[in-house]
Amino acid sequence: MTDNKIIDGKLIAETIKKEIAAKVADMIDHGQDAPHLAAVLVGEDGASLTYVASKEKACHCVGMISSVYRLSEKASEEEVLNTINFLNNDPEIDGFIVQLPMPKHINETKVIQSINSNKDVDGFTLSNIGLMQLGEPCFLPATPYGIMELLKRSNVEIAGKHIVVVGRSNIVGTPVSVMLSRKGIDATVTMCHSKTENLGEFTRQADILIVAMGQPEHIKADMVKEGAVVIDVGIHRIKDDSEKGYHIVGDVDYKEVYKKVSKITPVPGGVGPMTIVSLLHNTLLAAKKNR
Ligand code: NDP
């Protein structure tokens, strides 16, 4: 039996993948090449390797071409910039991402801002951030776009609602706050951060609570309004005695908060699967825009 309280990100992501796969198949039927997403990976960070591998798998699953440009941990900034310059100019690449974090000797901002904004499917360049702010067509950052899709496809009413976002990072909290408060989406948004005093006073006012704070199970039931919708972005591996040696939790104390809310995303299986799907969506957009 399906639980209507749970916003099933895995299921929604699968539906979107099918929609994207159909569009890719249509392009191929019309004699076009499949969209091509590349990733630049510098070093051997474990989480980054896993994330890039999932992107490759997702690309193949929808019929897109995927390639990874691997550079050693010791690669110089110049080598990274040269790789980006190559991808910026290669007509066969529709869009690409640079996997973060990069080794400390590389200036991430400089690298990200050197990406051609027409291929910036992560939506991290100044041009795409500015267009997002203006509400103009652009590549929206993957996790915030994924959250918007989750809310839309779960029929959560947004206009006029009070949305409290906990976290103000450049990849989640800030862009999702901007996107939700745009004209046409029309939420009233409060953004909280680590210097917010009495966090619970704000979170308890939320009709929709979006938590991207990177603190395991920080949001407890007494911090949430009865009947609220809760979107938990956090992902944490907690060591335990199980065979796997760990289990995954979010920023929200799911078990207790679940009892109070009208809808909630689980971790894993909520926001996570939507992030990669959003990247596929942007790659399809890039292929249509750039060719
Ligand atoms: P960051 O660490 O960049 O930002 C965390 C934000 O939370 C900061 O703005 C910080 O405030 C705020 N914060 C930290 N502690 C508190 C507190 N006690 N009270 C109020 N605010 C607090 O994290 P990200 O945005 O990158 O990621 C957040 C979480 O989401 C992480 O667990 C990450 O792993 C996960 N994530 C999941 C994704 C997915 O696909 N599901 C994608 C991206 C991230 P301040 O600015 O003052 O420091």
According to DSSP, the β-strands at 229-232 and 263-264 are: parallel
Looking at the structure, do residues 112 and 149 belong to the same domain, yes or no?
A: no
Whether 207 is covered by a domain: the verdict is: yes
Whether 63 is covered by a domain: the verdict is: yes
Structure tokens at 291: 């060719």
- The 10 Å CB-count burial string (b at 16+, else e) for 179-197 is bbbeeebebebbbbeeebe
Position 146 scores a pLDDT of 98
Looking at the structure, do residues 110 and 149 belong to the same domain, yes or no?
A: no
CATH number assigned to the domain comprising residue 78: 3.40.50.10860
Question: Which of 116, 132, 163 is the endpoint of a domain?
Answer: 116
- Structure letter (DSSP) for residue 6: B
Looking at the structure, do residues 150 and 262 belong to the same domain, yes or no?
A: yes
52 CB less than 6 Å from ligand 1? no
Q: How far apart are CA 82 and CA 76, in angstroms?
A: 10
Structure tokens at 184: 């046409």
Looking at the structure, do residues 146 and 263 belong to the same domain, yes or no?
A: yes
Whether 23 is covered by a domain: the verdict is: no
Q: How far apart are CA 104 and CA 277, in angstroms?
A: 29
According to DSSP, the β-strands at 246-249 and 236-239 are: antiparallel
Position 96 scores a pLDDT of 98
Distances (CA, A) of 139 to 6, 94, 158: 28, 13, 22
Catalytic residue, chosen from 8, 17, 99, 251, is: 99
Whether 174 is covered by a domain: the verdict is: yes
Q: Are 250 and 211 in contact (CB under 8 A)?
A: yes
Whether 212 is covered by a domain: the verdict is: yes
Looking at the structure, do residues 72 and 188 belong to the same domain, yes or no?
A: no
Looking at the structure, do residues 64 and 107 belong to the same domain, yes or no?
A: yes
Kindly report, residue by residue over 112-155, the tens digit of the pLDDT.
Answer: 999 999 999 999 999 999 999 999 999 999 999 999 999 999 99
**pLDDT above 90: percentage of residues in the chain:** 97
Whether 42 is covered by a domain: the verdict is: yes
Segments forming the whole domain that contains residue 98: 31-116
Which atom from ligand 1 is nearest to the alpha carbon of 212? 28
- Residue 55 appears among annotated catalytic residues: yes
Looking at the structure, do residues 164 and 251 belong to the same domain, yes or no?
A: yes
Looking at the structure, do residues 97 and 176 belong to the same domain, yes or no?
A: no
- Residue 205 appears among annotated catalytic residues: no
Parts of the chain with a pLDDT under 50: none
CATH number assigned to the domain comprising residue 260: 3.40.50.720
Enter the pTM of the model.
Answer: 0.96
Looking at the structure, do residues 153 and 52 belong to the same domain, yes or no?
A: no
Q: Are 109 and 118 in contact (CB under 8 A)?
A: no
Whether 220 is covered by a domain: the verdict is: yes
Kindly report, residue by residue over 13-22, the tens digit of the pLDDT.
Answer: 999 999 999 9
Looking at the structure, do residues 152 and 260 belong to the same domain, yes or no?
A: yes
Domain count across the chain? 2
Question: Which of 98, 116, 134 is the endpoint of a domain?
Answer: 116
Which atom from ligand 1 is nearest to the alpha carbon of 173? 25
Distances (CA, A) of 237 to 62, 221, 246, 247: 29, 21, 6, 6
Q: Are 70 and 12 in contact (CB under 8 A)?
A: no
Whether 53 is covered by a domain: the verdict is: yes
212 CB less than 6 Å from ligand 1? yes
| φ, ψ at 120 (rounded to 5°) | -80, 75
CA 50 / ligand 1 centre spacing (Å): 20
Looking at the structure, do residues 263 and 156 belong to the same domain, yes or no?
A: yes
Torsion of CA 129, 135, 139, 145, to 10 degrees: 100
Position 1 scores a pLDDT of 67
Q: How far apart are CA 150 and CA 96, in angstroms?
A: 24
Looking at the structure, do residues 150 and 66 belong to the same domain, yes or no?
A: no
CA 91 / ligand 1 centre spacing (Å): 36
Residue closest via CA to ligand 1's atom 17 equals 194
